[in-house]
Structure 1
Amino acid sequence: MSSDLAGLLERLPGRELAFAAGAPVFHIGDAVRFVHFVRKGTIHLIRHQDDGSSLILQRATSGAILAEASVYSERYHCDARAETDAITWAIVRRNLLHALSESPDLEKAWTHHLAHEIQRARLHAEILSIKTVAARLTAWCAWHGGLPAKGQWANIANEIGVSPEALYREIARRRRV
């Protein structure tokens, strides 16, 4: 996210909320009351599948807006869970909508942010359409600049829609080569 948008959001009235690792931020079907600007930690936006698996739709870290499209919805369409201890700046949804209509600078920064998120979402959809684990991992690494620490690999598996075991096998294969 641009520093312009972050600065503008930080100036809006809100309150700081803390979430312990594993705690829900919101559930599918909850009324959208707040827009969460992540100050610290990692929060996942999750869609649970019928087969019991889950798909990470967003990995919101410091400086990210969690589920920004929810600004235009009455209810959440996914779950959000703190993956680590996390702190957000929670802005009342209707206050943000009002500020967007009153501030051309905020509206421009918000629009720029949404356009970037559309690009990211399209890449994510493209990764999910790729047939092999190897090709999915290659595409993911190209966008993110490589693999994170080993403790985060299971999150990548969820994000690219493969089993953790399949991902680990592919990483092991690459390290042998």
Structure 2
Amino acid sequence: MSARPAEAPRVRACVGLGANLGDAVATLHDAARALAALPGISGFALSRFYRTPAWGVTDQPDFINAAAAFETGLPATALLETLLSIETALGRRRAADGSDRWGPRTLDLDLLLYGDAVLALPGLTVPHPHLHARAFALVPLLDVAPDVRIPGIGAAVEVLAGMDRSGIEAIP
């Protein structure tokens, strides 16, 4: 009898989706379908979509934001590469110098949480370094993971309780 290779450990990953150029709602639906179709993904859940004011650089169109949660065996770095590939496939172009970091975009996929991991790698910080300060990310995240905790911070629902949510509107 031959031994079967061990399966990679599975974790619950949470991804933030956002866009404010083009048909943002359609783009987020396309991105969600791409995420749900990834090999080895299970338990995929997608939040409602929310119209939210721009954050950082505020002189730009409102964003449409959502969150997805799912189980995966992909390592965090491989999942990040996959997110970047989906962004590119759906029209995201990044300035080589990073000057568009807070500007308008056709799609942004952020790895918000990767289980209870705390990672500080080149190009990847988990939990997302601004998650605890962004109501536009926490509101949809709590739709799909109401019990989620932000490592080093605490229960996301408690973090959100103290934040200004004005301007965040669910899209029917």
Q: Could you state the TM-score of these two structures normalised by the residue count of structure 2?
A: 0.27
The higher-RCO structure (CA 8 Å, 6+ apart) is 2
Larger Rg belongs to: 1
